[in-house]
Structure 1
Amino acid sequence: MRKTIAAGVVAGFALAAGFVMPAQAISATNADLYVFHGIPDTPVDVYVNGALTLDDFQPGTFAGPVDLPAGDYDIALTAPDAADASAPILEATVTLAANTSYTATANFAEDGTPALNLFTNDIATTNAGEGRLTVRHVAAAPAVDVLAGGTAVISSLANPDQATLNLPVGTVSASVAAAGTTEPVLGPADVPIQDGVLTIAYAWGSLEDETLALATQNITVGHSTPGGVPSGTAGYAAERDAMTQAFWIAGVAFAFAAASVAIVVARRARESKIES
């Protein structure tokens, strides 16, 4: 079984490398759209409303986000050498709502036929010290359990469903097993949970063809303000105030010492002048 981790985030449909934009960049009239290619061994061109948008899009990679006005969009996938979108391999119309983040996926259905899916990304802020993990099943495989440390934390996840967990910041050793079992068919793999970040893990490929793989997408969503912020005479604020006070005292002492030296020097100069 080939167990690979394909991790890629590309800024814009130009496929320039970079970290995904924060979800807060979405406007009140536009939506953010990412695209994930989850069909093994099949590079494609992607057309949106008849215009070539992604050229030679490779399996296991992401593109986006693209800031698009809310509305309906026709997405078509063609062979990489197609002259236009008149003979698509896959085609679907998706509806994008304003102030919402989406990921469109080209992947296998459970029976191994190509499919297009549109997922809504949960970009609500997390609690301080927490991140969010979403797992999406877009592989040609039966329902699965997602295991963390050998224990099922998500059960009977079927294609094309998703499940979301809010977790403390850290690293989760995750694996995927057939529903009701604990023998991994994918993983284990270390999945970092980052503060204020939505991490989306995709199980993609084909169990029968032994091309199952894991791809991860990260979207910064931010976190809520902690319940208490050290202030007054406690925590960092106290350290800051103490440091400020220390510097102030040191400055006064230095100024006083300098003034004293100046007085002594002046007095001695005057006495020397009188003696002479």
Structure 2
Amino acid sequence: MSDVYEAELVVERRESAAEGVLALTLRHPLGEPLPAWEPGAHVDVVLGPGLERQYSLCGDPADRGAWRIAVLREPAGRGGSAHVHEQVRQGDKVGVRGPRNHFALRPAPRYRFIAGGIGITPVLPMLAAAEAAGADWSLLYGGRTRASMAFTGELAAYGDRVTVAPQDEVGLLDLGSVLDALPGDALVYCCGPGPLLDAVEERCPAGALRVERFRAKEGPVGADGEFEVELARSGRAFTVAPGVSVLDAVRAAGVEVLYSCTEGTCGTCETDVLDGTPEHRDSVLSAEEREAGETMMICVSRCRGKKLVLDL
């Protein structure tokens, strides 16, 4: 974990990207280049003690001098977005860690992008990458109102490849127009609110779909029994009791690990599994990654058997 980039970056610019959406451009205070990233990546932004959030990078990956993020103000949220909108000013410094990417754009001849609301942020650089690669692509982009939909001005440059569909004008997104005649060699990338992602998952072939969730997916989980955990690198072993997360048990054993959301959505606590079978409860890993069982999100996932050996 020591090679994870951490720095305090300066808020160079604050600008309204849409009604209720604030875009921030971040730079290193000494002008140093920032780590390279690819479309789909996000960073952890440390806003204060106990106040850390994940935001997708939505600028130009070729620009090593600046990172752009966009923050939707959520009145019913946990306080992170309100802090950004009300407290973070131009010239302020914010702690940043990352980037990491669990939503990477895989090579394909055709892409169908579907975004809802602030879910446009990880998709935006994907469009530029697909365009540069000469791929056949289209975007279906929905939101509550046209005024609330971020970056529509930038998207206009792509012409009719982009369909902007505000709900108050056209109703719910017409997913059938994208998915019912999906070419066999196309990949679908979708980001947005949970109900949209659930609807896309129901209609899209699993192997063709990649999603990113901002909140944990609800669903049935297995038994919450106890199991053993061995930490291969630190030589410690302990029992994880019912109702206690692996993350909390690891930290109680005196081993510090990176973590953030504690909900299985950000991927910060992803840990290699050396032995045993994880019971995955995250909203990050793909079906293929879950089946392989090589990593797990220790903030929410547990063990299907009696013991896990982790690379910690």
Tell me whether the two structures share a fold, i.e. TM-score over 0.5. Answer: no
TM category (shorter chain) comes to under 0.3
Which structure is richer in relative contact order (CA contacts within 8 A, separation 6 or more)?
Answer: 1
| TM-score, normalization by structure 1 | 0.26
User: Which one has a larger percent strand, Structure 1 or Structure 2?
Assistant: 1
User: Which one has a larger percent helix, Structure 1 or Structure 2?
Assistant: 2
Computing the radius of gyration over CA atoms, which structure comes out larger, 1 or 2? 1
| TM-score, normalization by structure 2 | 0.24
